[in-house]
Amino acid sequence: MLTVSNYHYIRENFGAPFPSIFGVTPASFEKQIVLLKTTGKFISPDYLTDNLDFILNSADNYILITFDDGLREQYEVAKPILDKHNIKALYFINSINHIEKEVSLVHKIHLVRSQTEPKILLEYIETKLSDCDVKLSENEKQKAVSYYIYDDFNSACLKYLLNFKLTSIQLKNVIDSLFSDKFDSEKIGTDLYMNHQQLQDLANGNMLGSHSHSHFALGLLSPKAIENEMSKTIQFLNSFKENANLTISYPYGTKEACLSPVPQTAAALGHKIGFTMERGSNVSGADKLLLKRFDCNDLLGGKDFKN
């Protein structure tokens, strides 16, 4: 059996005027590692790809740690903790952050939201796109509240607008302009993502994997665009070191993000393993290009863990 625990932000302090960046602190990360150690055996990325059938068929629990988005804090904060416990993990990166020195839209959204009151942001977007009629109807507002039960009314409406109402082009335009008004893109990029030397170090240990080029939901793209998104990242990864055990984590990892031909394209381009964000452990018969993962919060030691 294979259990995968996935992480994003790992930092000491998540304080922000309007908290919208969530993750785990180094202390809770280490605490979880120690707890997980009692439930199975940690394995390296190479061990996983070389022994996947054996692992899936085994009654023993094999545990892999993964990180999405190529964040510098994963290397500088989490990796030293893993090194201390002699654990090798997989770090999935987006090549757009390096080749085009561009901050991923998903991170721009997090940063813009962390600095702007939800109500103000909501009004700003509705005004800016007033000729496209993006104002939420009463029915949509109710849906928003029922989707985002942990959020206040305005945050729920804002999330609904960003995630379901705006087209990808509207979203990109409005967030790009808000982001460049408030942030120094180059500085954010340097602070947020791993540098060349850190990527090289991970590549040397076969710990670097693909999260595709631009962090799009691949399943919503054309077959050609999916191939493009994957190929660019492979080429970038190969510039550090060619790795026969190539792996990919599909951005967002939802059903829609992993629709056919996403896993087929991944296999055809040489990825040995693909990871989704479908929750669960993997057992005999699992699709190697659509392996399940747990968000760290849902596993033992995580804040949402329920036994």
Nearest to 56 by CA among 286, 307, 240, 302: 286
Segment lying near Zn ion (by CB under 5 A), choices 60-68, 234-242, 268-276, 280-288: 60-68
Quick count: other Cβ atoms within 10 Å of Cβ 283?
A: 14
Segment lying near Zn ion (by CB under 5 A), choices 73-81, 113-121, 251-259, 267-275: 251-259
When the beta carbons of 30 and 68 are compared against Zn ion, the nearer one is 68
When the beta carbons of 32 and 74 are compared against Zn ion, the nearer one is 74
Closest distance between Zn ion and the C-beta of residue 67, in Å?
10
Closest distance between Zn ion and the C-beta of residue 95, in Å?
13
The binding track of 14-53 with respect to Zn ion, each residue x by CB under 5 A or -, is ----------------------------------------
Nearest to 141 by CA among 155, 131, 127: 155
68 near Zn ion, rule: CB under 5 A: yes
Closest distance between Zn ion and the C-beta of residue 265, in Å?
18
Tell me, what DSSP letter sits at residue 272?
Answer: S
When the beta carbons of 215 and 288 are compared against Zn ion, the nearer one is 215
Number of residues that bind Zn ion (CB under 5 A): 3
When the beta carbons of 118 and 251 are compared against Zn ion, the nearer one is 251
Tell me, what DSSP letter sits at residue 294?
Answer: E
Name the residue with the smallest CB distance to Zn ion: 68
Question: Are 33 and 82 within 8 A, CB to CB?
Answer: yes
Nearest to 288 by CA among 115, 17, 54, 26: 54
Of 24, 49, 69, 209, the residue at the interface with Zn ion (CB under 5 A) is 69
Question: Is 144 buried (19+), middle (13-18) or exposed (0-12) by CB count in 10 A?
Answer: buried
Segment lying near Zn ion (by CB under 5 A), choices 147-155, 202-210, 246-254, 284-292: 246-254
Q: Which of positions 181-210 make contact with Zn ion (CB under 5 A)?
A: none
Tokens encoding 157: 């409406």
When the beta carbons of 189 and 251 are compared against Zn ion, the nearer one is 251
Tell me, what DSSP letter sits at residue 59?
Answer: S
229 near Zn ion, rule: CB under 5 A: no
CA distances from 261 to 168, 211, 267, 285, 286 (A): 20, 16, 10, 20, 18
Question: Is 230 buried (19+), middle (13-18) or exposed (0-12) by CB count in 10 A?
Answer: buried
Segment lying near Zn ion (by CB under 5 A), choices 63-71, 76-84, 146-154, 167-175: 63-71
Segment lying near Zn ion (by CB under 5 A), choices 31-39, 51-59, 235-243, 250-258: 250-258
Closest distance between Zn ion and the C-beta of residue 252, in Å?
7
Binding site for Zn ion (CB under 5 A): 68-69, 251
